[in-house]
Amino acid sequence: MKNFQLLMLPFGGGNAMSYHKFQAFFPSWIEIKTYDTAGRGTKIKQAPHKNLYTMADEFFEQFKKDMQTPYAIFGHSMGTYLTHLITERIVAEKLPLPSHLFISSKTAPHLNYNKKRSLLNDSEFVEMLNRLQGMPEHILKDEEMLKLFLPLIRADFYAIDTYKYLKASPYNIPMTLFAGTDENVPDEEFMAWKEQCSGEMDFYRYEGGHFWLLNHTEKLCTFIADKLAQY
């Protein structure tokens, strides 16, 4: 069995520890690679990025130093656009391509538009986070914790909403799309990723909302391992 690296890119407000528990559900031949960028985790004292391009560049430069083949990339929500931008950097620099891309719970990048979520007042913003069910409830109810985390999360939402897609040639890499059954997004908006990817593509929904993967971690890891075992 080949040893795989799996670069896992975070959702809004996430950091290198967000996927920590996933490693236990992967076989020993899959090694998770995660990193922090300005404003998150080990770099929390730095001003967070408010631009997905600069954020992707920082992730890319860190992973580039560790990159070994074969490898794959997984991104959830904000991490899907980071996956897209990093893949474009990999192609541009003529580096070895990932064997597979795993894209979770985000419409195709050319469909992105500014929802102005970062402009909500604190109570509205926290209510939105509560609806997404991706942040522990005890943090949302702790004013001191919120003061610590809200600047990063707002910066991430600003970066997502203001992301401007730049058209480029599709990359020829197989892709798997995931989404929750309760996300209010039609299948065709996910399948529009086909405009970015000329490789084979498949799409699966798991029961739940935007953070469905937190309730289906073992199933997701098993699926990814089975897919990578084919290479």
Tens digits of residue pLDDT in 3-19: 999 999 999 989 999 99
Number of other residues whose CB lies within 10 A of the CB of residue 46 = 12
Rounded distance, CA 192 to CA 107, Å?
Answer: 7
| 183 DSSP assignment | S
Q: What confidence score (pLDDT) does residue 136 get?
A: 59
Rounded distance, CA 200 to CA 62, Å?
Answer: 28
- The whole-model pTM stands at 0.93
In order of their start, the domains of the chain are: 4-112+168-228 (3.40.50.1820)
Nearest to 224 by CA among 90, 81, 99, 67: 99
pLDDT digit string, tens, across residues 70-89: 999 999 999 999 999 999 99
Strand order of the β-sheet with 175-180 is 30-33, 4-9, 71-76, 100-104, 175-180, 201-206
Rounded distance, CA 205 to CA 169, Å?
Answer: 27
pLDDT digit string, tens, across residues 105-155: 999 999 998 888 877 887 787 787 777 765 656 566 666 777 777 888 899
Q: What confidence score (pLDDT) does residue 151 get?
A: 85
